């Protein structure tokens, strides 16, 4: 399969078909993008004695009253993360909680409480927002979490920001800890969500299976807990920015490198049919919300059994090596250019 241009949202144009989305290249044109900004900011943040794992990971891990909690926040904004013609407001409520709770899953934790901030434009009725919030509450309850408060305000675009507090597992698991020789694994097929957005934005046929993967990201909370509690994984992250980008985060925090083999990246049947042979959606599209983790080869059989027990499959896509950075190789062993891979909210468009 070929590697094409990685695409992303830009706020803006009204299409004749009613779907409002313009797409532009995600190529980083300025060094002062999202990740460079964070590299400059994070060292300036204070670290208290209560902070076990701080900024730079999927969630903060803090000591509170003799125990440890996980805290994270995530936002969904119209025109940046979604377009209303592509999903109902109740589905948006469910999606928003799943996206936020995915960070807790990536640390092996269990969501317990959440705060919800909702910005509502004038063309969205409060009755519609009420239905969205009910759906969000039910989704949270299905994860074992309770909505304990929030905020409602007027905004130019519809937005939902969710802060999630979760129980931390006894075994610490975050982006650090990967070791040379570890396998690199993912918990499901990649690229479906990004491909769905690509097709919808161009008015092309989008099969329901792809659309569902974007509307409702998979739940991987039980798998995340098992990987943490049983000490199977050495490092873990959820796939929000794309395989290449998110694996690079693990490599940076673990001071290692990684090799990925494109032929081993799991792809769904609809992806193979509708992607036109373009692997970039799977490699760098983002918003898969699968788990990406590393583990010793001797743990593979136990990991496969644990995944099967919770209804998912894991796939080995590469291995951890000494050095720095991520290398992706094609079927011939040739290195694939990754300079355009991975989503950056603040890259110059």
Task: Look at the block and give the residue holding tokens 């592509």.
Answer: 86
Report the alpha-carbon distance of residue 313 to residue 203 in Å, rounded: 32
Which of these, 277, 312, 292, lies nearest to 244 by C-alpha position?
292
Share of the chain above pLDDT 70, in %: 82
Using DSSP's 3-state secondary structure scheme, residue 325 falls into strand
Least confident stretch, 61-65, 71-75, 229-233, 306-310: 61-65
Q: Which residues pair with 2 in a beta bridge?
A: 278
Reply yes or no on domain 66-105+110-167 having CATH 3.30.1330.10.
yes
| pLDDT range class, residue 151, cuts 50, 70, 90 | very high
Condensed to tens digits (0 to 9), the pLDDT of residues 88-126 reads: 999 999 999 999 999 999 999 999 999 999 999 999 999
Which CATH topology does 1-46+172-349 take?
A: Phosphoribosyl-aminoimidazole Synthetase; Chain A, domain 2 (3.90.650)
Task: Look at the block and give the residue holding tokens 């355009």.
Answer: 340
What is the reported pLDDT for 233?
Answer: 98
Report the alpha-carbon distance of residue 189 to residue 218 in Å, rounded: 11
Which of these, 158, 82, 77, 161, lies nearest to 122 by C-alpha position?
158
Condensed to tens digits (0 to 9), the pLDDT of residues 176-192 reads: 999 999 999 999 999 99
Least confident stretch, 59-68, 167-176, 306-315, 336-345: 336-345
Residue 5: is its pLDDT beyond 50? Answer: no
Residue 191, token pair as written in the block = 């690229």
Query: Best-predicted range by mean pLDDT among 16-25, 31-40, 220-229, 278-287?
Result: 220-229
Rg (CA), the chain: 19
Q: Burial level of 178, CB count in 10 A (0-12/13-18/19+)? A: buried
Condensed to tens digits (0 to 9), the pLDDT of residues 81-96 reads: 899 889 999 999 999 9
What is the reported pLDDT for 62?
Answer: 84
* Same fold: 1-46+172-349 with 66-105+110-167: no
| pLDDT range class, residue 324, cuts 50, 70, 90 | very high
| pLDDT range class, residue 36, cuts 50, 70, 90 | confident
Using the 8-state DSSP alphabet, how is residue 289 labeled?
Answer: -
Condensed to tens digits (0 to 9), the pLDDT of residues 214-229 reads: 999 999 999 999 999 9
| pLDDT range class, residue 336, cuts 50, 70, 90 | confident
| pLDDT range class, residue 33, cuts 50, 70, 90 | low
- The pLDDT mean for the chain works out to 86
**Domain assignments of the chain as residue spans, ordered by start:** 1-46+172-349, 66-105+110-167
Using the 8-state DSSP alphabet, how is residue 216 labeled?
Answer: S
Mapping DSSP onto H, E and C, the string for 73-140 reads EEEEEECCCECHHHCCHHHHHHHHHHHHHHHHHCCCCEEEEEEEEEEECCCCCHHHHHHHHHHHHHHH
Which of these, 221, 249, 219, 245, lies nearest to 235 by C-alpha position?
249
What is the reported pLDDT for 44?
Answer: 64
Report the alpha-carbon distance of residue 72 to residue 56 in Å, rounded: 11
Residue 61: is its pLDDT beyond 50? Answer: yes
Condensed to tens digits (0 to 9), the pLDDT of residues 235-287 reads: 999 999 999 999 999 999 999 999 999 999 999 999 999 998 899 999 999 99
Residue 171, token pair as written in the block = 């075994």
* Whole-structure pTM value: 0.84
């Amino acid at each position: 399969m070929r590697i094409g241009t990685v695409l992303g949202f830009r706020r803006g144009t009204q299409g004749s078909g009613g779907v409002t989305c313009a797409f532009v290249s995600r190529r980083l044109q300025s060094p002062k993008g999202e990740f460079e900004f964070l590299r400059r900011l994070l060292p300036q943040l204070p670290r208290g004695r209560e902070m076990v794992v701080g900024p730079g990971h999927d969630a903060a891990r803090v000591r509170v009253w003799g125990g440890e909690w996980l805290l994270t926040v995530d936002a969904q904004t119209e025109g940046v993360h979604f377009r209303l013609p592509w999903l109902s407001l109740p589905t948006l409520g469910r999606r928003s909680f799943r996206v936020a709770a995915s960070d807790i899953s990536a640390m092996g934790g269990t969501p317990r409480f959440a705060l919800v901030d909702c910005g509502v434009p004038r063309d969205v009725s409060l009755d519609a927002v009420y239905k969205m919030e009910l759906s969000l509450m039910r989704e949270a309850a299905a994860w074992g979490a309770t909505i304990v408060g929030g905020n409602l305000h007027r905004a130019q675009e519809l937005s939902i920001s969710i802060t999630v507090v979760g129980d931390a597992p006894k075994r610490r698991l975050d982006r650090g800890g990967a070791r040379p020789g570890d396998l690199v694994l993912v918990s499901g097929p990649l690229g479906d969500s990004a491909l769905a957005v690509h097709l919808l934005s161009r008015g092309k046929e989008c099969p329901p299976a792809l659309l569902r993967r974007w509307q409702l990201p998979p739940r991987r909370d039980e798998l995340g807990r098992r990987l943490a509690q049983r000490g199977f994984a050495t490092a873990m992250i959820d796939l929000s920015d794309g395989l290449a980008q998110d694996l690079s985060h693990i490599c940076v925090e673990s001071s290692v490198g990684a090799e990925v083999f494109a032929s081993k990246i799991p792809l769904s049947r609809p992806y193979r049919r509708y992607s036109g042979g373009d692997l970039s959606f799977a490699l760098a599209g983002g918003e898969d919300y699968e788990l990406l983790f590393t583990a010793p080869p001797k743990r593979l059989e136990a990991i496969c059994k644990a995944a099967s027990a919770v209804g998912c499959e894991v796939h080995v896509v590469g291995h951890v090596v000494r050095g720095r950075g991520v290398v992706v190789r094609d079927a011939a062993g040739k290195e694939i250019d990754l300079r355009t891979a991975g989503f950056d909210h603040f890259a110059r468009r």
